Amino acid sequence: MADQAPGVRIDGLTVVYKTPAGELPAVRGISLTLEPGTITGIVGESGSGKSTLALSLLNAVQPPGRIAAGSVEIDGLGDVVGLAGEQLRKARGAHIGYVFQAAQNSLNPLKTVGKQLLDLGRSHGVEDLPGLVREARELLGRMGLDGARVLDSHQHELSGGMRQRVGIMLALVLNAHLVVLDEPTTALDMITQANILKIVREVHAERGLTTLVITHDIGVVAEVADRLAVMYGGRLVEQGPTREVLGAPRHPYTRGLIKAIPRLVGDIDEARALPGRPPTLATVPKEGCVFRERCPQRMDVCDTVDPSVVADGARVVACHAVTVKEHAS
Amino acid sequence: MTLIARRLAGHLARGFVMIIVVATISFFIINNIPGDPMAAQYDKLLQSGMSPEAATQAVKVLYGFQPTGSLWQQYTDYIGGLLHLDLGTSVSRPGQPVLGVLGEAAKWTILPVLGGTLLSFLVGVILGVYAAIKRKSKLGDALAISGSLLHGIPQYVLAMLLVVIFATLIPILPADGPVDIMFEPGFNAGYLGSLAEHAVLPIATYALSAYGGWVLAMKSSVVTVLGDDFILAAELRGMKRSIIFRYIARNAILPLFTILALSLGLLLGGAVFIEKIFNYPGLGWLLIESINTRDYALMGGAFLLITAAVIVANIVADLFYTVIDPRVRSGEDST
């Protein structure tokens, strides 16, 4: 087991879902690199394909979906798209930790957290089970919980924030160094949200992790992520260092997203919701730009040609309008 | 443990009240159905050519008493006796206490019902899990269809089919009562063997007719659990298949225990047709007999026994949940 943060290289990843209308892509040709030791945030609306992307990292896209093309190279594991059976099972949990949305019940309701921890240990051939329990207690204590008590509790006896910390503990306790958090703060109150984000940041630094945070809340990304990737209609439309992207968004969708955030001070009407609705699996256009229906800068070329992904230093954008502007200047 | 004791006490108190209520209702209903056992006996004697005086005398001798008290007095006597577990004396079998008659019949009901239900539960639940996991393959379809088919055949039709096939066409199994009379009752190989041999067809009937319900119920329960988040979570944590399988099975089987307890309780009332077809002198058979002979005391006792069985089954199911479902346990803590 690699004891350092692994790097992850997603290349040309396409995930399709089988529907009555044939196989439709939920994620299309995404390339994204997670540098070792960084926190990457993926932002997108519901249905943008961000959860599908997250599951692809564990090669765990649920049927009727499947990875149709591309690769996910993880240091120390190789291409997880090629893994199957026992190899894949052992990689999950031991190399890659996955943290569920807090509102989801990610624990067996009939067993105590401690017993499920032991099940996890046995599944991964951990010989020193008392050591595993000790480690779990420490992790929980580190996150401000009474470890012994939590391990002795059932899911229904824990609050949302506590469950989320148990989820993080279970993702880390086997010493995984790549952690995927799917909507880690959704359905939590503001104080708990802030707490969880602080824990994510601190644990990330202390344990030397590579972290991927999936969220629809751009505020969460601003809080924790080093790099930000914006997804729309199954495509990555923009990515770059968080500060730069948020400070000077280039893609019209990113700009729309940022404009839609209500501010605590100032006029509430300043927040402007994006007009229109995000595309669903069935309504994603087959050709041309996926965002054109809602885009204020729509041009003729957008209807027919898929904008290519253009890198400019650390920034990457896929938009005809941006490319045209740069060529003009 | 004190929690379970507290729950049990509450249940017993409620169960007691329910039994008294049911006893009251059945007492008045039975008293209001037309027909009077002594009048029936009296008529029979008259028809056989006895003089009216002699017939009255004979009836009195036969039953040892003539009902004289008001209905209310009979009722209080009945409930009073009930509190001492005295259900009265059988009318059609003079001198025999109802409780004893019921107990004698119960042993012929409990064995096949318990055997058949538990067997079908075991097989049905296991096959139900497979039907759910393989629900997109031919095997899953076949299991579900077998469940629907057997579930759809009425119990008595199934019983007659079995009798026709295994007792008449290919006479390999007996269907003529609970045991061969040639054996001395007791713990000897001949008697027990005969007992088991005779129980095969009734048990098979109960098992086959209940099997479909278990398969279908377990299948839908497992399918529900398979869609739960914690199963995907366990998979993404790299849990072993065998452990995930146990998670699924334990969560899916929970709702089935209620059905199991209730069906056991109801079946203890005796399956009238089955016992008739296989000549088992069980509770259902006894109930029909008591109605035919206008045996009020026995009828009331049989009704009461069914009530008590259902109530006890409910209590057992609830206490069982306290043991196996932590959510029920702590639900009590907060009240």
> For A135-163, what is each residue's pLDDT tens digit?
999 999 988 899 999 999 999 999 888 99
Residue A207 contacts B, CB cutoff 8 Å: no
Taking CB atoms and an 8 Å limit, are B238 and A91 in contact across chains? yes
pLDDT in tens, A3-21: 678 999 999 999 999 988 8
* Bridge partners (DSSP) listed for residue A92: A96
Task: Reply yes or no on whether the pLDDT at A318 is more than 80.
Answer: yes
**Which of B137, B228, B237 should one mutate to test binding to chain A, selecting the residue with the greatest count of A CBs within 10 A?**
B237
A105 contacts on B by Cβ (under 8 Å)? 228-230
Find out whether A8 and A75 touch, Cβ atoms under 8 Å. yes
Residue A171 contacts B, CB cutoff 8 Å: yes
Q: What is the Cα–Cα distance from A10 to A55, expressed in whole angstroms?
A: 12
DSSP assignments along B1-64, one per residue: -HHHHHHHHHHHHHHHHHHHHHHHHHHHHHHHSS--HHHHHHHHHHHTT--HHHHHHHHHHHHS
A170 contacts on B by Cβ (under 8 Å)? 237
CA distance A293 to chain B (A): 34
CA torsion sign for A256, A262, A263, A268 is positive
A106 contacts on B by Cβ (under 8 Å)? 229-230, 233
Tokens of A40: 């990457």
Q: What is the Cα–Cα distance from B283 to B275, expressed in whole angstroms?
A: 8
**Which of A123, A186, A212 should one mutate to test binding to chain B, selecting the residue with the greatest count of B CBs within 10 A?**
A123
Q: What is the Cα–Cα distance from B294 to A161, expressed in whole angstroms?
A: 67
Taking CB atoms and an 8 Å limit, are B240 and A154 in contact across chains? no
Residue of B nearest to A116 (CA): B234
Q: What is the 3-state secondary structure (H, E, C) of A196-236?
A: HHHHHHHHHHHHCCEEEEEECCHHHHHHHCCEEEEEECCEE
Mean local confidence (pLDDT), A257-280: 77
Find out whether A250 and A315 touch, Cβ atoms under 8 Å. yes
Residue A98 contacts B, CB cutoff 8 Å: yes
Q: What is the Cα–Cα distance from B94 to B157, expressed in whole angstroms?
A: 36
Q: Dihedral angle at the C-alpha atoms of B197, B203, B205, B208, nearest 10 degrees?
A: -120
pLDDT of residue A225: 94
Taking CB atoms and an 8 Å limit, are B237 and A92 in contact across chains? yes
Taking CB atoms and an 8 Å limit, are B326 and A156 in contact across chains? yes
Query: Which among A91, A108, A122 is the nearest to B230, CB-wise?
Result: A108
pLDDT of residue B68: 65
Q: Which of A21, A14, A12, A44 is nearest to A283 (CA)?
A: A21
ipTM above 0.85, yes or no: yes
Taking CB atoms and an 8 Å limit, are B238 and A123 in contact across chains? yes
- Residue A303 is classified by DSSP as G
Residue A18 contacts B, CB cutoff 8 Å: no
Mean local confidence (pLDDT), A53-69: 91
> What single letter denotes the amino acid at residue A329?
S
B233 contacts on A by Cβ (under 8 Å)? 98, 100, 104, 106-107
| Residue A284 DSSP SS3 | coil
Task: Reply yes or no on whether the pLDDT at A187 is more than 50.
Answer: yes
pLDDT of residue B335: 34
CA distance A35 to chain B (A): 23
Tokens of B73: 């007095």
Residue A153 vs residues A105, A111, A115, A145, B319: alpha-carbon distances, Å? 14, 8, 10, 12, 21
CA torsion sign for A186, A190, A193, A197 is positive
CA distance A38 to chain B (A): 22
* Bridge partners (DSSP) listed for residue A15: A27, A67
Taking CB atoms and an 8 Å limit, are B239 and A110 in contact across chains? no
Task: Reply yes or no on whether the pLDDT at A327 is more than 70.
Answer: no
Residue A91 contacts B, CB cutoff 8 Å: yes
B255 Cβ contact list (under 8 Å, min separation 6): B217, B221
pLDDT of residue B294: 78
pLDDT of residue A2: 47
Q: Which of A290, A315, A294, A295 is nearest to A305 (CA)?
A: A290
A109 contacts on B by Cβ (under 8 Å)? 230, 251, 326-327
* Range from A42-46, A323-327, B52-56 carrying the lowest mean pLDDT: A323-327
- Residue A300 is classified by DSSP as G
A122 contacts on B by Cβ (under 8 Å)? 240, 243
pLDDT in tens, A206-226: 999 999 999 988 888 998 999
Query: Which among B228, B230, B239 is the nearest to A123, CB-wise?
Result: B239
When pLDDT is cut at 50, 70 and 90, the band that residue A310 belongs to is confident
Q: What is the Cα–Cα distance from B244 to A18, expressed in whole angstroms?
A: 26
**Which of B136, B221, B236, B254 should one mutate to test binding to chain A, selecting the residue with the greatest count of A CBs within 10 A?**
B236
| Residue B323 DSSP SS3 | helix
Question: What percent of the residues of chain A are helix, what percent strand, and what percent coil, each to the nearest 5?
Answer: 40, 25, 40
Mean local confidence (pLDDT), A282-302: 85
The b/e string for A198-234 (b: 16+ C-beta within 10 A; e otherwise) is ebbeebbeebebbbbbbbbbbebbbbbbbbbbbbbbb
DSSP assignments along A117-181, one per residue: HHHHHHHTT-S-HHHHHHHHHHHHHHTTS-HHHHHT--GGGS-HHHHHHHHHHHHHTT--SEEEE
Helices (H), A57-105: 85-94
pLDDT of residue B85: 82
| Per-residue pLDDT tens listing for chain B (335 residues) | 577 788 888 888 998 999 899 889 888 888 787 777 677 777 878 888 888 888 877 777 666 555 667 788 888 888 888 888 888 778 777 778 888 888 888 888 888 888 999 999 999 999 999 899 888 889 888 988 998 999 899 888 999 999 999 988 888 888 787 777 777 777 778 888 888 888 889 899 999 989 999 999 999 999 999 988 899 999 999 999 999 999 999 999 998 988 888 888 887 765 788 888 888 888 888 888 888 887 888 888 888 888 888 888 888 888 888 888 888 776 544 33
Q: What is the Cα–Cα distance from A288 to A303, expressed in whole angstroms?
A: 5
Q: Which of B113, B101, B103 is nearest to B267 (CA)?
A: B113
| Residue B303 DSSP SS3 | helix
pLDDT in tens, A105-134: 899 999 999 999 999 999 999 999 999 999
pLDDT of residue B26: 85
A152 contacts on B by Cβ (under 8 Å)? none
For strands A39-43 and A227-232, give the pairing.
parallel
CA distance B240 to chain A (A): 5
**Which of A58, A90, A119 should one mutate to test binding to chain B, selecting the residue with the greatest count of B CBs within 10 A?**
A119
CA distance B241 to chain A (A): 9
